[in-house]
């Protein structure tokens, strides 16, 4: 069986269809369909089936996609077995992070990796809904993702996806400097009943943390704005247009904003690195990952 076709089959599963898989593989949808058809002929059984206007894997397709992971891991392990004998393994590693995570971790990571020599980092910021982070690993080697405290794990974790904990970051209440709560050392959920909130869009991890705070207060939040750019959120908070939840390590940079710890509820997020199982075998990727873990350790533990 063709390794490229097996890769295509995996992408169709993780991306949820031919068109999305074609995008991450830099192929046309027609080329993806042709590879799937050839793979079905090799396998001797149908690997996909039509569902309305879409396509999904059959039971045989799912089984072969699982086996394709094992094949890809074995190939990368074989390459790594030789790479460890190099004095200085070289290569390019792509890393993406959600925006505040990029602000926190990428500057130090670039410095650390530059000191190793021989490895080129290609960095990007990817602000996506929580359900979309795992899919980014089809086109990015290391994906720095976040999920709320107590949130569900990542699809495919352990079999198709490697998850490396980096740190737990508290989410603090952001208020204007002249807000009635601004002189507190901390707040509790019941203190926030009736406040107007500036929240992120639904489906993003911080939104789930706000839901937890509201549930602990016994009152639904009064959300007046939904904005994902934390720098804009801080400007609105400073101007007195509401309160918000902001990450402790990168929030509170605006002089008119105060950050207050939230007591009585787990208000935080887990920051983790996501990698495809085969990509995690690459020596240069492992070295970058080691430096990423070390850099994250400057800001806290994964617990």
pLDDT band at 78 (very low <50, low <70, confident <90, very high): confident
pLDDT at 6 over 90: no
Question: Could you report the per-residue pLDDT of 226-267, keeping only the tens digit for each?
Answer: 999 999 999 999 999 999 999 999 999 999 999 999 999 999
Where residue 156 falls (left for φ over 0; alpha for ψ -120 to 50; beta otherwise) is: left
Question: Which positions ≥6 away from 73 have C-beta within 8 Å?
Answer: 277, 278, 281
Question: Could you report the per-residue pLDDT of 42-77, keeping only the tens digit for each?
Answer: 889 999 888 877 788 999 998 998 888 888 888 888
- Res 276: pLDDT: 94
Q: Return the higher-pLDDT residue of 54 and 3.
A: 3
What does the CA dihedral 22, 25, 27, 28 come to, rounded to 10 degrees? Answer: 0
Task: Identify whether the C-beta of residue 91 lies closer than 8 Å to the C-beta of residue 119.
Answer: yes
- Res 50: pLDDT: 85
Question: Could you report the per-residue pLDDT of 183-222, keeping only the tens digit for each?
Answer: 999 999 999 999 999 999 999 999 999 999 999 999 999 9
Q: Which of 166, 153, 154, 194 is nearest to 109 (CA)?
A: 166
- Res 159: pLDDT: 81
User: How far apart (Å, rounded) are the C-alpha atoms in residues 78 and 101?
Assistant: 33
pLDDT at 140 over 80: yes
- Res 95: pLDDT: 98
Task: Identify whether the C-beta of residue 45 lies closer than 8 Å to the C-beta of residue 32.
Answer: no
Question: Could you report the per-residue pLDDT of 109-139, keeping only the tens digit for each?
Answer: 999 999 999 999 999 999 899 999 999 999 9
The DSSP output letter for 254 is: S
Give φ, ψ of 202 to 5 degrees: -60, 145
Find the DSSP H helices in 54-204: 59-83, 99-116
Task: Identify whether the C-beta of residue 197 lies closer than 8 Å to the C-beta of residue 223.
Answer: yes
Cβ atoms within 10 Å, residue 86: 11
- Residues constituting the chain: 303
Find the DSSP H helices in 88-181: 99-116
Question: Which positions ≥6 away from 80 have C-beta within 8 Å?
Answer: 281, 282, 283
- Burial label for 97, CB within 10 Å (0-12, 13-18, 19+), is buried
pLDDT at 280 over 80: yes
Indicate the average pLDDT of the chain. 92
Domains of the chain plus CATH, in order, are 3-83 (1.10.10.10), 90-303 (3.40.190.290)
Q: What is the pTM of this model?
A: 0.84
Task: Identify whether the C-beta of residue 246 lies closer than 8 Å to the C-beta of residue 174.
Answer: yes
pLDDT at 83 over 80: no
- Burial label for 108, CB within 10 Å (0-12, 13-18, 19+), is middle
pLDDT at 87 over 70: no
59: which 2 tokens?
């039971």
- Res 56: pLDDT: 85
């Amino acid at each position: 069986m063709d390794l490229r076709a097996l890769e295509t089959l995996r992408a169709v599963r993780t991306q949820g269809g031919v068109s999305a898989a074609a995008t991450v593989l830099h192929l046309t949808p027609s080329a993806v369909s042709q590879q799937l058809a050839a793979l079905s002929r090799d396998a001797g059984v149908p690997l996909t089936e039509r569902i309305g206007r879409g396509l999904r894997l059959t039971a045989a397709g799912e089984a072969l996609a699982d086996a394709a992971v094992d094949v890809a891991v074995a190939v990368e392990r074989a390459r790594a077995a030789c790479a460890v004998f190099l004095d200085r393994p070289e290569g390019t590693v792509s890393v993406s992070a959600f925006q505040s995570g990029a602000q926190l971790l990428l500057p130090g990571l670039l410095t650390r990796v530059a000191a190793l020599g021989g490895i080129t980092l290609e960095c990007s910021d990817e602000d996506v809904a929580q359900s979309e982070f795992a899919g980014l690993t089809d086109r990015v080697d290391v994906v720095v993702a976040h999920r709320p405290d107590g949130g569900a794990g990542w699809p495919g974790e352990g079999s198709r996806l490697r998850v490396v904990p980096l740190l737990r970051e508290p989410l603090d209440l952001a208020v204007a400097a002249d807000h009635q709560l601004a002189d507190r050392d901390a707040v509790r959920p019941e203190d926030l009943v009736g406040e107007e909130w500036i929240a992120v869009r639904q489906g993003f991890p911080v939104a789930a943390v706000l839901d937890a705070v509201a549930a602990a207060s016994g009152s639904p939040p009064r959300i007046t704005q939904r904005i994902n750019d934390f720098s804009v959120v801080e400007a609105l908070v400073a101007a007195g247009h509401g309160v918000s939840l902001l990450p402790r390590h990168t929030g509170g940079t605006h002089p008119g904003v105060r950050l207050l710890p939230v007591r009585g509820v787990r208000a935080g997020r887990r920051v983790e690195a996501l990698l495809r199982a085969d990509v995690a075998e690459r020596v240069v990727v492992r070295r970058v990952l080691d430096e990423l873990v070390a850099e994250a350790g400057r800001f806290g533990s994964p617990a």
